[in-house]
Each structure stands twice: as structure tokens, then as C-alpha cells.
Amino acid sequence: MRELEHWVGGKAVPGTSGRTGPVFDPARGVQTGTVPFASADEVDAAVDVATEAAAEWGAGSLSSRAAVLFRFRDLVAAATADLAAAVTAEHGKVLSDAAGEVARGLENIEFACGIPHLLKGSHSTEVSTGVDVHTVLEPLGVVAGVTPFNFPVMVPLWMLANAIACGNAVVLKPSEKDPTPSLLLAELAKEAGVPDGVLNVVHGDAVAVDSLLAHPDVAAVSFVGSTPTARHVYETGARHGKRVQALGGAKNHMVVLPDADVDAAADAAVSAGFGSAGERCMAISVVVAVGAVADPLIEAIAARMPSLVVGPGTDPESQMGPLVTAEHRDRVRGYVEGAPDEGARIVVDGRDLVGPADGSEGFFLGCTLLDEVRPGMRVYDDEIFGPGLSVVRAGTYDEAVSLVNAGPYGNGTALFTRDGGAARRCQRDIAAGMGGINVAIPVPVGFHSFGGWKSSLFGDSAIYGPEGIRFYTRPKVVTTRWPDPAGSEIDLGFPRTR
Ligand code: NAD
């Protein structure tokens, strides 16, 4: 049994609170480690270390910070297999998917490598006679990151690449369910030359998070997780005067118009619905089939499902791994169980899954397809976060868009069509932060920014990309006069530009 430790000041530090949580291998259903849960005092100690480190790091040259980031990028790329193995061991997703999340995380380091350009600020000359104005972007100091279980490499990198590049020090509180990848990232950062104390990893639960939210030396908090926690983090952090971006849950729809290519739409629905066992905030959980496309589309999706290989993430044959915990597996199964009573029709029943051939007792659940789902049913209203795909039938494009936009979340909406006019109109009509046209999972590349609307994001800043740079810096506007001594005079009026 592994006993994990915190990472503070560039080294592993054992937990002292006496509180711990279990870490499982979801594919075998066995506990493989314990993770310490930090007390408020342990959080304070990490913030102190970070505060000291931030002062020097933030004052360093841009070129030296960029050089460290380039090295970090290469080390993370070279460690892809190790990082992916750590993700699969604690999260359960298949190795190829875990390597995919490392690749998407790398985009954020690559973007941050351009930090000398990104922090250029702006300059106006001669705003008044002999007066210039320039804006510089300064680091905030210590920033906190709180991350979910479903992307234990990519989401920490959404935060820490830009935060560090901007000259801040970070205290990262990763998910207690899969804490090892964050520790590997911290070791790689140290090897790359990130100074001790600039990246710290403190494990824990709500006690650690609430301590960070109340700590006077934490300037900003980036959070990614479920909507109830996101709301709590946003409200609490804001009450303590912090800058907060809190990304929450989702219920993403894929609208399929009658003219769409049915096979391509079915491939996309299966991939986006069941990839990573549906444990993606950009997973498709509802297909909205418009008009006559419904029957052939459901048939095409159902036809693809029996051949999906569910098994341990380490088996190269597996396409989908287990769910993260037994509790979560049982919760998702409960939605399937309750669906017929609410009026939905089970087309493919994931509860029929026969376990992996090796007989392991992992947290597996097969893929389920439900038809005749409607708003008001729990299976439609709740974020299930598992391998369950619902189909809602709509008569028209307008009916489909109204249905999608009436939901409380606004992360991603995808449209499948061959009609360019409808696609263009849909871009304007959808009430979501990210749209996909014939792209089921429209996660923006690292040089754009990621963020939903409504209950999918609390705060006014999306994460990573240009918005990330804005979030992790504060502007300072400096007005400068180097007067010509010949024009000097006393003037008690308000500073003029005309
Ligand atoms: P979660 O909200 O349970 O946990 C997220 C983090 O918050 C963890 O580090 C956890 O320890 C901490 N936490 C949990 N309860 C807390 C509390 N009461 N007070 C303070 N901190 C608390 O989320 P999860 O189950 O780890 O992740 C899955 C959720 O994350 C899904 O809802 C998914 O949609 C969402 N998610 C959203 C995005 C996005 O970009 N919008 C991305 C990934 C995941």
C-alpha cells in the first residue's frame, strides 16, 4: 500500500493531520494507497512557502521563465507514458485516452512558453503633451488550483502552466481520488528548473479547499469540478476578496438534424458518449434527434455498442475502462434502473456487462442507450457522468434548440448537419460557451480559452489560453511625464489630456 505525501517547497512532505483517504485501482476494485488530507495548518505552511517563492520568481526575467517552461514542456512530453500509467492506475481510463489527456495538457505549457510575448502590455505615447501611459501585467502572488478526478494531468496543467509563466506561485489541491499525477508533474517541474516553492501540491478534502479559500495570502482560486462545489468555491472565495474562476458540471447535447450523415453522427455519439466511461465534462450525454433522423440514428448507435470493449485501462484491447469508484458506479447504475419508471426506454442495457475476462472485481459498468427521454426525468435533468447516453426526440430545429437552451448548464453543444446555413445559425442560437459543428467534443485548443456559461462556470473568466493570462495577472497603468523644464508651471486643475 503506497502512502502518498504532500509536495511543498520542492520536496515530499508527510501529512500530519492524521486524516487520510483511500486511493483505488478502479480496474481491480482494490485500495492501492492512502492520501493525506491536509489540515488548515498544513495549508498555511504551504501558502507561506509559496508566498516567499513567488516574490523572487515573479521578479525574474521573462526569458529565464520561458526557458524553464520549454524544459518543462519537453520533460512532460518525454514522461507521457509514465503520466498516462499513473492516470490509468488511479482513474481507470484506458492508457491511450490517458496519453491523450497528457497531449492536451501539453498544449497549455506550449502556450505558456510564449510568455514574453503574452505579457507585453501596451503603451500610448503623448497622451497629453509630454505624457506617456503604459500598462504592465504583474503577477498576483500566490494562486490556488483545485482540480477534479476526471483529468488528473490535463486540468492541473490548464492552471499551473499559465499561472507559473505569469510569475505566480501555485498551491494545487488535486482530487483525492487520483492524486499521484499531480505529484509527478511537480517533480518534473522541479527538474525543469521551477524553483522550490513555486509549485506545491497539498492533498485533501473540503478542509484544505476551505482553508485556501479563506487564506489572506491566496490572491486567486481556479476551480474545476461539480456545479455545487463550484458555486461554493466561487461564493466563498469572492466573500474573501479573491479572484475566482470556478468551472462546474455539464450536460452536453448533440443536436442531429435530418440531413446529417447518420453513420458519422452515430460514430461521434458513441465516441463522445462513452469515451472515458462518460466521465468527461464535455462528454455528450444527450442526443437530440430532429425529425426523421431519430429511428435510423438510434439503430446506428445501438448497432455499434455491442462491439465496444470494456475492460482494464492497461489492456490495449480495452476501449473503455471502469468508473472511478464503486459509489460512482452504483450511482450511475441507479439512473439506468430508474429510467423506465420515468418513461424512458432502455435500448441497450449496460447493466448486462459481463466483467473482464480476468475475473477482476473492478468498478465496471457497460454502456447504456436510452430512448424517449424527456426533460423532467432525473436521467435527463441530472449530470450522470457515466456511460449512459439519452436520446430526446424533437420535431424541429427550433424545438431542439429551445430544449437545449432551457437546461441549467451551458458547457458545450454540438450540431451535426450538412447544411451550412443551419450550422451558422446554430452558432448564434446556442446558449453555451463552446460549440461544435460536426465536432462532438469541442474542447478549445490551448491558444483559445475554455469555459461554459450558466451553471457550468461561476466567475467572469474562462480558463487557460488568453483568458488564463488575464486571470493570473493584474494590470498596472503607469502615467509618465518627463517634462521639458521650459514648460513647467503650477496647475491645481485635474490632470488633462486636452
Ligand atoms: P467535485 O466537485 O466532487 O471535486 C472537485 C474538487 O473539489 C476536488 O479536488 C475535491 O476534493 C474538492 N471538493 C469536493 N467537495 C468539496 C467541498 N464540499 N468543498 C470544497 N472542496 C470540495 O468534482 P469531481 O467529482 O472530482 O469531478 C467531476 C465533476 O467535475 C463533474 O461535475 C464534471 O462535469 C466537472 N468537470 C468540469 C469541467 C469543466 O471544465 N467545466 C472539467 C472537468 C470536470
Closest CA to 451 of 214, 202, 222, 288: 222
User: How remote is the CA of residue 328 from the centroid of ligand 1, in Å?
Assistant: 13
Please give the pLDDT value at position 164: 99
Say whether pLDDT at 389 is over 90. Answer: yes
* Atom 8 of ligand 1, residue of closest alpha carbon: 175
Give backbone dihedrals phi and psi of 346, rounded to 5 degrees, phi first: -80, 115
Pairing of strands 131-139, 142-146: unpaired
**Nearest atom within ligand 1 for CA of residue 174:** 9
Task: Kindly state if the Cβ of 167 falls inside 6 Å of ligand 1.
Answer: no
Task: Kindly state if the Cβ of 279 falls inside 6 Å of ligand 1.
Answer: no
Mean pLDDT of 430-455: 98
**Nearest atom within ligand 1 for CA of residue 247:** 41
Task: Kindly state if the Cβ of 209 falls inside 6 Å of ligand 1.
Answer: yes
Spell out where 155-227 has E strands.
Answer: 169-173, 199-201, 218-224
Q: How far is Cα 480 from Cα 484, in angstroms, rounded to an integer?
A: 13
Say whether pLDDT at 111 is over 80. Answer: yes
Say whether pLDDT at 280 is over 80. Answer: yes
Task: Output DSSP code: residue 136.
Answer: E
Task: Kindly state if the Cβ of 144 falls inside 6 Å of ligand 1.
Answer: no
Burial, 492: exposed, middle or buried (Cβ in 10 Å; 0-12, 13-18, 19+)?
A: exposed
**Cβ atoms within 10 Å, residue 470:** 17
Mean pLDDT of 336-361: 87
Beta bridge partners of 137: 475
Say whether pLDDT at 483 is over 90. Answer: no
**Nearest atom within ligand 1 for CA of residue 328:** 25
Mean pLDDT of 13-34: 98
User: How remote is the CA of residue 282 from the centroid of ligand 1, in Å?
Assistant: 14
User: How remote is the CA of residue 452 from the centroid of ligand 1, in Å?
Assistant: 15
Mean pLDDT of 8-30: 98
Q: How far is Cα 150 from Cα 93, in angstroms, rounded to an integer?
A: 9
Please give the pLDDT value at position 356: 64
Task: Kindly state if the Cβ of 249 falls inside 6 Å of ligand 1.
Answer: yes
The region, left, alpha or beta by phi > 0 then psi within -120 to 50, assigned to residue 276 is left
pLDDT tens-digit readout, 57-74: 999 999 999 999 999 999
Reading the block at residue 103, the C-alpha cell is: 497531449
Say whether pLDDT at 450 is over 90. Answer: yes
**Which has more confidence, 445 or 360?**
445
Say whether pLDDT at 359 is over 80. Answer: no
Spell out where 4-104 has E strands.
Answer: 6-8, 11-13, 20-25, 30-36
Say whether pLDDT at 485 is over 90. Answer: no
How large a percentage of the chain has pLDDT more than 90? 95
Please give the pLDDT value at position 357: 58
Q: What angle do CA 429, 275, 407 make, to 5 degrees?
A: 30
* Atom 40 of ligand 1, residue of closest alpha carbon: 247
pLDDT tens-digit readout, 330-341: 999 999 999 999
Say whether pLDDT at 358 is over 80. Answer: no
pTM over 0.75: yes
Task: Kindly state if the Cβ of 285 falls inside 6 Å of ligand 1.
Answer: no
* Atom 36 of ligand 1, residue of closest alpha carbon: 225
Please provide the average confidence, as pLDDT, over all residues in the chain.
Answer: 97
- Length of the chain in residues, anyone? 498
Pairing of strands 345-348, 368-371: antiparallel
**CB < 8 Å & 24+ apart, contacts of 129-132:** 129/487, 130/481, 130/482, 130/483, 130/484, 130/487, 131/479, 131/480, 131/481, 131/497, 132/479, 132/480, 132/481
pLDDT tens-digit readout, 393-437: 999 999 999 999 999 999 999 999 999 999 999 999 999 999 999
- Concerning whether 281 is annotated as a catalytic residue, the answer is yes
Mean pLDDT of 100-113: 98
